[in-house]
Every structure is written in structure tokens, then in C-alpha cells.
Amino acid sequence: MAEQWSGFSYIVTNLARFIRPHEITFSGVNSTPPMLACLLAKRAYDWDFVYINVAGGVDPEPSAIPVSSSDPLLAEGSASIFANEDFYDLCTRGRMDLTFLGAAQLDGSGCANNSCIGEWAHPKVRLPGGGGGAVMLPTARRACTWRTEHSKRTLVEKLDFVTSWGGMHGVVTPIAVFVKRDGKLALQSWHPESSLDEVRQRTGFGFDATGAGPTAPPTARERAALQSLDPQGQFERDAAIRLR
Amino acid sequence: MSSGFASKDKAVSLSELVALVPDGASLGLGGSFLHRGPFAFVRELIRQEKRNIEIIKQSPGYDIDILCRAGVAARARCGIVAMEGNFGLAPGYRRAVEQGHLKLEEHACASLTAGLRAAAFGVPFMPCGGLHGSDLVRINGWKAIDDPYGSGATTYVIPAIAPDFAVIHASSVDRQGNVRVAGTSHWDRIMTRAAKSVLVVAEEVSDEPFADQPELTVVPYFMVRNYAIVKHGAWPGSCWPFYPIDYPAVQAYLEDGAEALARHLDAAPEMATRAEARQHG
């Protein structure tokens, strides 16, 4: 039986829940889930925030939702272009409230490997690289990421390579939400159709689960917002995210 | 001799523009991922069988992938490489790094920009925020310096990066070679200031007087060595506001094998322009 709350919706919705009122929030390249999370938050929540993105948009109103999260559509309706140098400089001078960053591997302190599987100089797999990560993760006020696969090869005890240090504030997978507590990722909640046991079994690092419980289900407005962003379910199909 | 390119007669064909690039040159490419990259220029590098080219770009994708696939690129400095959208990793690039055919200097996007800023500002290195704790520092041998003014802060410094050429795809140029870009300029501005000279491929020559809105000009003509006009030259990527990404063409490009690559090169818009020029020529 299909799950009641798809992994795709779980990730996008829980990324959106990391966004806070009035804060400057950034979404980058190769980042479809956080792009959708920012657009969802604009539609589902009563409060506003400053949404900036890698296409140079500032609070854009795109006429369509692009497949590429760096598409120029994401600057439509923007009254300014806040280009690549601008948002990196904003971050390093300490004024980026929240940035979303990608990660191939994460460790228990929320550091990220985006570079390689195996040894850097002779990689078994050459990965895309960290983009903004090495500069943004240690300088943004908060950084959050997602993994579409929750497994011991993505959530590891030791990274093959530390592309970005500084520790994510939040991590969302198809079955769990982690937040940073005392410098370590702690379990905040698990997918209502998963369990603490399953999260432990499928996670390569140890974590504190004090106070964790099932994730609050999506509100009607969160559901409606995601539905309006992906009316045909194309993003959901393309993402092909499974709980197990 | 003048330091700039004072000539006001800069129009050349795409093949003449690419012929300016010698084997072994370093090229800073404009755009980002599948958006407004100088892709017609990149394909012409392949047709002219350039070798040992260095690619400098914060977020290349299709461009570096096809240059790896065709054996043109030998070295690269970049921050993140992917086809993006639903296409994921860039397979030609990935293979080239894994098999040792492409020598990679891996950056964060902002550390590469810092190196370009050093070159643009005429100083040997440039501070870059962040980078603390990253293994990129170790593999690149980046040094940290203490604030000489006594704040106690420690900052990494990145050595200057001066590409031989910046190559950008522009929305339009005027007849003198002043360059306009619609929408975000990505890193094109700093790329053109860091490079020793600038080569431009533009969608069109505009007859608008650029002096009416000089703030829209990203690169003044005296920095531009030459330009070529190639309509749809950023294909299969986008060029805002003229055309979006041609996803089926990207899909077809990603098919394996030399034949798929040849078909892709033959389907490129600059081939149509060339055929037309021959008919009229």
C-alpha cells in the first residue's frame, strides 16, 4: 500500500518548516526540494520571509515552477537581481539567516561530503562538489539539507572527504528530521509510518533521540500549497523518493 | 601599445573567434549550469580539435562535460559540476576525473571567485570567508593569515586566478562590442575583469543606443577582444528571456557513444547559421 505521506512531500514540507518569519533564506543550484520548500512556505504560512535564490531572484513570483532550481524563471517578478557574488558575500559577512545546501554524505555533526566516494585523488565516484558549502556552512546562521536516501552509506560515522565543515542545523530524509543539539545531530521526529528503531537501524552515526516523536502530519495548507506547485505530480515522480 | 582593445571593429565569425584560442589556454566560462553558457563557442572548440584546455568556472555542467567527452579539457578549476534538473551527475566529466584524464582543482564557488577577484584587483591573493574545517584547504594547500590589524580573526587567502580568456554568452552587443546581459549576470562580471581578454558570443547586434542606459552594459567594448553573433548559441541551455532549456536535446546529448556526440554537434544552431552563410556567401 502506498504511504499516506510520500517521502517527497515529507522532505519538501519539513524543509519548509525550517524557514522562519522575516529571515533571509537562500536556495541554490541542484536544489529542487528546497526551491519547492521556499515556494511552499510563501503559500502555506501567514508570515512572510525574504526568499533569495541562485537565479538572482528576491521574493520572485515565477510564472511557472522550473525543473532547474537555478532557472531564470526564479527571478521573474523580482525587483532586483541579487547575483552570485552578492549572496555569497551576504553569507560570509554573517547575514544569511538560512541557507539550504546539498550533501551526498553527512556525519553525526552535520558536516558534509559532496566531493567523492573513496580517496579524493583517486575517487571511486567523483561527485559534483560542494558549490557554496565550504564557505556557506561555517558562515550562515543556519544551514539545512536533505537526503533522498536514508541509509548507512549516506548518513555515515566518518565522511570520505569533508567538503563542508560547520554542521547543518537541520537534516530531512524520507523518514526522519534531525536538528543540531550541542553540536551533534539529534533526532527531532520520524515519519509517522516509520519508527525510532527503523531510523536507528538505517543511520550510520549514533544520535540522541530525547523528546523525539512522530512528525506532525502536513497541514491542509501545506498540502494545498505543494499540490498547487506540483499539480500533475511531475516533480514527485521525477524525484522518485521511496521511504524504503 | 594600448592595454585594451580599442578597435571598434570587433565582429568576427564564430570559427574566427575560437581560432584565437591556442592549445593549452585557460578559459573562464560564463553562465551557470544550463543557463546562458557560451555553448556554441564550446562546441566550436571541439570542431577545431583544441587540446589541453583549462576550464575555469564556478558551476559548469554541459560545457565541461562535452569538453571532457571530446578530449579537449585537460584541467579544471570549479566548485560544483552537474547537469542539474533531473539529469544529475555530468557523466563525461565524472569519467574524466575518475580515469585521471582531467586534472581537477576543486574549489568552493566563492573561493574560485576570490581567486578571480585577486586577479581583477591586481593583488596576488584574496581573502575568502568560511572554508574553516574543509578538506579543500588541505588538498589545495591554501594558507590562512592572521588579521594584521589585530582583530584576532584568521582568514584563508586564495591565490590569484587569471584566465587567459573570459568567454561569455551575452544577450546582445552594440556594434562597438559593448555587452549586455539580461537577468542575472552570474559570475560573468568578475570573470571578465579577471581574464587577460574577453571573447563574446551574443544573440544579436542591437541597434539600440546603449548610451541611453549605460548601466545595462556589463562589459565595455574596450575590454572585449572580439565578438561573434550566434542566434540560439546557448543551446541546449537557456538564454533569458529568449529561450528556455531544450530538455529533449540535453537528453539526446547524454546518450553514450561517439555517434550520439556527433549527432548532437551537427544539430547545434550554429551549424544552421554556417550553412546559411555559405548559401549567401
Residue range B9-50, pLDDT digits in tens: 999 999 999 999 999 999 999 999 999 999 999 999 999 999
Mean residue pLDDT across chain B: 96
Position B272 scores a pLDDT of: 86
Show residues of chain B in contact with A93, CB under 8 Å: 129
CB pair distance less than 8 Å for A126 and B135: no
Mean pLDDT within B85-103: 95
Q: What is the distance in angstroms between the Cα of B135 and the nearest Cα belonging to chain A? A: 5
> What ipTM does this complex have?
0.96
Is residue B1 over pLDDT 70?
A: no
- Give the domain CATH number at B41: 3.40.1080.10
Q: What is the DSSP letter of B107?
A: -
Nearest to B74 by CA among B82, B83, B64, B89: B64
CB pair distance less than 8 Å for A85 and B79: no
Q: Quick check: B48 and B72 in contact, CB under 8 A?
A: no
Q: Which domains does chain A have, with CATH numbers?
A: 7-231 (3.40.1080.10)
Same-domain check for residues B211 and B89: yes
Same-domain check for residues B177 and B254: yes
**Partner B, chain A 129-148, Cβ-Cβ below 8 Å:** 129-139
Residue with C-alpha cell 525543473?
A: A67
Same-domain check for residues B95 and B73: yes
A44-93 residue pLDDT tens: 999 999 999 999 999 999 999 999 999 999 999 999 999 999 999 999 99
- Take residue B281 and report the three cell numbers written for it: 556567401
Same-domain check for residues B153 and B166: no
Nearest to A32 by CA among A244, A216, A241: A241
Phi first, then psi: give them for residue B64, nearest 5 degrees.
-75, -30
Same-domain check for residues B172 and B203: yes
A176-221 residue pLDDT tens: 999 999 999 999 999 999 999 999 999 999 999 999 999 999 999 9
Q: What is the distance in angstroms between the Cα of A75 and the nearest Cα belonging to chain B? A: 8
Position B279 scores a pLDDT of: 67
Domain coverage including residue B195: 14-108+161-274
Mean residue pLDDT across chain A: 97
Q: What is the distance in angstroms between the Cα of B49 and the nearest Cα belonging to chain A? A: 26
Facing residue for A139 by CB, picked from B94, B129, B139: B129
Facing residue for B109 by CB, picked from A127, A131, A238: A131
Is residue A130 over pLDDT 90?
A: yes
Show residues of chain A in contact with B132, CB under 8 Å: 138, 165-166
Same-domain check for residues B150 and B50: no
**Integer distance in angstroms from the first to the last C-alpha of chain A?**
13
Is residue B280 over pLDDT 70?
A: no
Element at B155 (helix H, strand E): strand B154-159
- Quote the CA–CA distance of B205 and B219 in Å, as a whole number: 15
CB pair distance less than 8 Å for A130 and B80: yes
Position B80 scores a pLDDT of: 97
Same-domain check for residues B129 and B23: no
Element at B146 (helix H, strand E): strand B143-146
Same-domain check for residues B67 and B199: yes
Q: How confident is the model at residue A107 (pLDDT cuts 50, 70, 90)?
A: very high
Q: What is the distance in angstroms between the Cα of B253 and the nearest Cα belonging to chain A? A: 17
CB pair distance less than 8 Å for A120 and B139: yes
Question: Residue B252 falls within a domain, yes or no?
Answer: yes
Same-domain check for residues B126 and B193: no
Position A1 scores a pLDDT of: 41
Is residue B281 over pLDDT 60?
A: no
Backbone angle region of A163, left / alpha / beta, with phi > 0 → left and psi within -120 to 50 → alpha: alpha
Is residue B75 over pLDDT 90?
A: yes
Number of H helices, E strands in chain A: 7, 12
CB pair distance less than 8 Å for A68 and B85: yes
Same-domain check for residues B244 and B199: yes
B181-212 residue pLDDT tens: 999 999 999 999 999 999 999 999 999 999 99
Q: What is the distance in angstroms between the Cα of B151 and the nearest Cα belonging to chain A? A: 15
Mean pLDDT within B63-80: 98
- Quote the CA–CA distance of A196 and A219 in Å, as a whole number: 23
- Quote the CA–CA distance of A168 and A184 in Å, as a whole number: 9
CB pair distance less than 8 Å for B80 and A55: no
Same-domain check for residues B268 and B131: no
Show residues of chain B in contact with A124, CB under 8 Å: 98
Position B277 scores a pLDDT of: 67
What are the start-end ranges of the H helices in B48-84? 62-69
Question: Residue B3 falls within a domain, yes or no?
Answer: no
**Cα–Cα–Cα angle for A234, B89, B46, nearest 5°?**
115
**Partner B, chain A 44-63, Cβ-Cβ below 8 Å:** 54-56
Residue with C-alpha cell 578559459?
A: B27
- Name the residue of chain B whose CA is nearest to A32's CA: B85
Same-domain check for residues B244 and B198: yes
- Take residue B101 and report the three cell numbers written for it: 584524464
Percent share of chain B, pLDDT over 70: 98
**What is the tally of structural domains in chain B?**
2
Q: What is the distance in angstroms between the Cα of A161 and the nearest Cα belonging to chain B? A: 7
CB pair distance less than 8 Å for A67 and B79: no
Mean pLDDT within B249-260: 97
Task: Determine the residue type at B150.
Answer: G
| pTM greater than 0.90 | yes
Q: Quick check: B219 and B165 in contact, CB under 8 A?
A: no
Phi first, then psi: give them for residue B127, nearest 5 degrees.
-60, 150
Element at B157 (helix H, strand E): strand B154-159
Q: How confident is the model at residue B273 (pLDDT cuts 50, 70, 90)?
A: confident
Question: Residue B113 falls within a domain, yes or no?
Answer: no
